[in-house]
Each structure stands twice: as C-alpha cells, then as structure tokens.
Amino acid sequence: MIVSTLWTNLAIQGITFATSVLTARILGPVGRGELALVLLYPQLVAVITLMGTDRAVAVLAGRGELGRPIVAISKVVLLLSVPAIGLGYAILRWRLADTHLAGLATMYLTYVPAAYFFMLVSFLFNGTGDFARFNLVRLGFYSVNLALMLAIWATAPTRSLDWVVVANLVSVFGVFGLAVCLLRGFRYSGNSGNETAKTNDVKSVLRLALVFALPAALVQFSGSIYQIVLEHQLGVGPLGLFVVYFSYSRILSPVGSAIASHVFYQGITGEGRDIARICRLSLIIYTACSLPLWLLARWLIPLIFGRSFVVDSWVIAFLLVSCLFGLLADSLAEFLKGHKKVRADTEGMVIYLVAVGILGWWLATLWGLVGMALAMTMADILRYCYLMTNVGRFTGQVLGKFWQVTQSDIATLLTSGKRALVGVRTWR
C-alpha cells in the first residue's frame, strides 16, 4: 500500500511543483506574495474551524464505529461551514487593508464547504484503508489546478492575480465533484445496522474531534506563521521570494507524506511496527536527497521560476534542514495520533510556534529571509527532539535507535532500490 501512496504523493508533488512554477512565472515575486496573503487567512481559519473532525472520521470509520459515514460527513460540513466563513470574514476585515486583496480573499471564503467535504471524504478513505480512492481524490485537486494554471499562463490575461485565485477556487469545487463520484460504490462494513450508531454519528465525530482539534489548529498555524511574520516585518515582495524557496525545499515532502499516512493507519489498526527504524531509514533518504537539491539550487531556481527569483544559498540550506527534521517529526506525530495520543504532538507544535514566533520575529528583522529560515530550522529540531523523546518512552525504545543509522539500514535501502529498478525495467 505504501508504494502506491508514495507514487501518488510523488505525482502530487510534481504537479504541485509545476503549479508553483507557473504561479511564480505568472505573478512574479510581489504577485506571489499577494497570492499567499489572499489565501492565507481563509485557509488558516478553515482548517482551524474543522476542529480535527477529519482525523476523527478516519479513526471512527477505520474501527467500524460509524453507522452512516457519508451522512455524518454531510452534516458535519453544514454544521462547521457557517462559523468558518463568518470568522474568516471578520479576520479579513481586520487584517487586510488593501481592498482588492481583501475582496479576493472574501470571494475565496466560498470554498469552505466544498473543501470540508473533500477533506472528510479523503480521510474516510484513509481510515478504512481504501488507499486507491484516497490517492485518487487527492490527485484530482492538484490535476485540475495545474490544468487551470496552464490555461492562465497560455492566455496571459490582465489582472492575472484575480484569475489565479479563481483557478484555486474552481479546483476545490472540481475535487468536491470528484469526491461525490468516488463515493458511488464505496462499501463500508461498520455499524450500518445499529440505529443508535446512526443517530450518534455526528456526536461521536465531534466528541473525538476534540482530541485532535488543538493539534490540527496548531499544525495549520505552524504552516502559516512564517507568512504572517514575513508579511508584517518585510512585506509581500520578500514573502513571495520566501514562498518559492520554501516550495523548492519541500520537494521531498511526498516521501514524508506517504510514510506518515501509513504510520497513521498502522496506529489506528494497532499494528506493531518499528517506528525508530522508520525514522532512521527516513533520515538517510532525506539527507541523500537534500544535498543535491542544495548544490543545484542557485542554478535551478532562477531557471525554473524565473530570473527575478534570486537565490540565497543560506536560505535554501536552512530550509532543507528544516524540512528534514519537520518530516521526521510529522511521522512521529502521525504515529501518536493513530494511537489517539496527541498531547505530545500538541506540546511539540507549541514549542515550534513559540520558537518560530520569537526567533523569526527577531532574526527576520536582523538577517531578513536567512533569519526566518534559521528560526524555522531551530524550531523543527526542537519539535523533533521532543516528539522523539515521547515516542521512545511510549514504545520503550532508547533514543539512540531513532538516529543511529546501522549497516542493516543502509543494506535495506540498497536492496529496496535494486528491487525498484528491477520493477521499472520489468514494467518497461
């Protein structure tokens, strides 16, 4: 299963990267910063208001504890969309002084119900182990978005920022339709005959969501805080540059996402796996992939994104190290979430946010983008060390097992690589 998810995540990352390249070339550094600001608060509010119901649906469905999961998802979407849109509108009125950007962000708020439905359905597939649908519904959004961005790039319309925002909005509604189609023929073996379960589905989801609500909010806020700090301290131009650098440094994320998705599923089913060994193997892979990305960055980024995106090698270096420790921490966090042990993840995210908030605010003022990248690196290292300590205590493993690479680990990766090459040659 993990191989199919990995290939899907690689495809998604490739599509996402192509989309980010087109967006950067269409808008330039300032326009890219404006787009980040337009999408920032609607997406932040939407995920926070979702309150962890996506994880709750996955866990309850995976354990067969939902009577009518599709009906429950629809009710949760209706219940949460109105407060999300209302809160988002209030924040936009408060934070965005530019009337044009505020208008675009307000329009984008209409994506909330469709996005909620798509997210909950994808986690339903994840929780029940239906990775074919899980991968397909996620791939749909990025494919539609790329197609629309290609159309915008080819036609080069005026007011390109407006068209890019509309493209993002249409993509969400497109994947909403795909999610509805994929639910046809979906079979669920749970408490379908239990009338009490059917009645209490929404209550069960919301009750369990409280366990995941704070960690989910912190995760989303952690992905947005650097944008908030940079926009406030340096403006939309530097923000646009940093968003592109950040996107480049996260090319490795599909590997981490594939591992995290399956670690989460294993936690739900209670399977016993060597999480420390997974961390060691991941560390080798991330390090081996990061070095060439850093060495080629000064040449690749201007070539791909455009000459206006001038490269700072130190920013890229710190962001790649940040990505390495961030992905390792995410796997540990998913392991704990699958066991419904979210306190350590919550505390880890608080540590990250405090570190980025304080160090980023200070270092960005002193050293600009380099300071922000350094702050993120230090924060990710602190979060990983904290989660590693907690997972080691929970599993009864010494901390050295999480980072002391062995010859057996290297041999395992070499063997897996040879098998993958043989598979590719056979497929050809």
Give residue 107's pLDDT band: very low, low, confident or very high (50, 70, 90). Answer: very high
Asked if residue 213 lies in contact with residue 52, where contact means CB atoms within 8 angstroms, the answer is: yes
Q: What is the pLDDT of residue 427?
A: 38
pLDDT at 428: 43
N residues, the chain: 428
Average pLDDT for the chain:
85
Whether 102 has a pLDDT exceeding 90, the answer reads: yes
- With cut-offs at 50, 70 and 90, classify the pLDDT of residue 306: confident
Other beta carbons within 10 Å of 235: 12
Secondary structure (3-state) at 193: coil
Most confident of 54-68, 95-109, 328-342: 95-109
pLDDT value at 317 more than 60: yes
Mean pLDDT of 276-289: 86
Give the alpha-carbon dihedral of 251, 255, 257, 258, to 10 degrees.
Answer: 150
Confidence check: pLDDT of 359 > 90? yes
- With respect to residue 428, please indicate whether it lies within any of the assigned structural domains: no
Residue 81 lies in a domain: yes
User: Does a structural domain hold residue 426?
Assistant: no
Asked, for residue 103, whether it belongs to a domain, the answer is yes
Residue ranges in 234-342 assigned as alpha helix (H)? 236-249, 253-269, 275-305, 313-338
In this prediction, residues 348-371 reach a mean pLDDT of 94
Q: Is residue 222 part of a domain?
A: yes
Amino acid at 52: G
In a domain, 372, yes or no: yes
Q: What is the pLDDT of residues 256-268, one digit of tens each?
A: 776 776 666 555 5
| 303 vs 294: CA distance, rounded Å | 15
Q: Among 187-191, 330-334, 362-366, 396-400, which range has the highest average pLDDT?
A: 362-366
**Termini Cα distance of the chain:** 22
Token pair recorded at residue 395:
């599993």
Per the structure, the count of domains in the chain is 1
Q: Which domain holds residue 361?
A: 2-415
Distance CA 91, CA 93 (A): 5
pLDDT > 70 in the chain, percent: 89
- pLDDT at position 6 is 62
Residue 363 lies in a domain: yes
Residue 264: C-alpha distances to residues 221, 236, 339, 341, 428 (Å): 21, 36, 8, 11, 33
Percent helix, percent strand, percent coil in the chain, to nearest 5: 85, 0, 15
Average pLDDT for 73-91:
94
Q: Does the residue 420 lie in any domain? A: no
Token match 């650098």: residue? 245
Per-position b or e across 174-212, b if 16+ CB within 10 A of its CB? bbbebbeebbeeeebebbeeeeebbebbbebbbebbebb
| pLDDT tens digits, one per residue of 26-56 | 999 999 999 999 999 999 999 889 888 988 9
Q: How far apart are CA 101 and CA 356, in angstroms?
A: 26
